[in-house]
Amino acid sequence: MLDDRDRKILDLLQADAGISVSDLAERVALSVSACSRRIQRLEESGHIARRIVVLDRKRMGVPTTVFALIKTAHHSDEWIETFRRAISGIPEIVEAHRLTGNQDYILKIVLPRVEHYDVIYKQIVRKIELFDVSASISMEILKSGSAIPVGYAD
């Protein structure tokens, strides 16, 4: 069971995974050792899945975002696993979701420029049969991040 301090620790770590334990402890009003034990417990319980570094996409040369919407005529477990393997080897595909509604999948693809989308498209269709693929180019990022709300956790 998480308490308010655990939630505050999780929230602060989401904002900056590199925060020192002493700074974190001060911000949640705990001793360094007590804070360290809580972090370890949160990792062991699986509340903290991993700690990552967020890179600047422009400096990394991939400022363009394309969302590819995919329809398929296949829905078997075998096809889904083949699709998963096909996209997992393409680093430009940073997110993939199976959807309800008119589309079956959406891929978030980061690219150096929009023209590079054709390279990624060809990599996908060489590996797996798709019914329809349409792409939308992100014009502006209005909100971005990987932080999730901590208030719902038990």
Question: What is the pLDDT, as a whole number, of residue 1?
Answer: 87
Question: What is the pLDDT, as a whole number, of residue 9?
Answer: 97
CATH fold of 64-137, please? Alpha-Beta Plaits (3.30.70)
Question: What is the pLDDT, as a whole number, of residue 28?
Answer: 97
User: What residue spans in the chain does CATH classification 1.10.10.10 cover?
Assistant: 4-44
Q: Helices in the chain by DSSP H: which ranges?
A: 4-15, 21-27, 32-44, 77-88, 117-127
- Residue 65: pLDDT band by 50, 70, 90 thresholds? very high
User: What residue spans in the chain does CATH classification 3.30.70.920 cover?
Assistant: 64-137
Question: What is the pLDDT, as a whole number, of residue 12?
Answer: 96
With vertex at residue 139, the alpha carbon angle to CA 138 and CA 142, rounded to the nearest 5 degrees, is 85
Mean pLDDT of 3-7: 96
Q: What is the pLDDT of residues 83-123, one digit of tens each?
A: 999 999 999 999 999 999 999 999 999 999 999 999 999 99
Question: What is the pLDDT, as a whole number, of residue 93?
Answer: 98
Question: What is the pLDDT, as a whole number, of residue 58?
Answer: 96
Mean pLDDT of 132-137: 97
Question: What is the pLDDT, as a whole number, of residue 154?
Answer: 81
SS3 at position 154 = coil
- Number of CB atoms found within 10 A of residue 131's CB: 10
Closest-CA residue to 51 (of 42, 59, 61): 42
Domain 4-44 has CATH 3.30.1360.80: no
Q: What is the pLDDT of residues 15-64, one digit of tens each?
A: 999 999 999 999 999 999 999 999 999 999 999 999 999 999 999 999 99
Let me know: does 90 contact 124? Beta carbons within 8 Å: yes
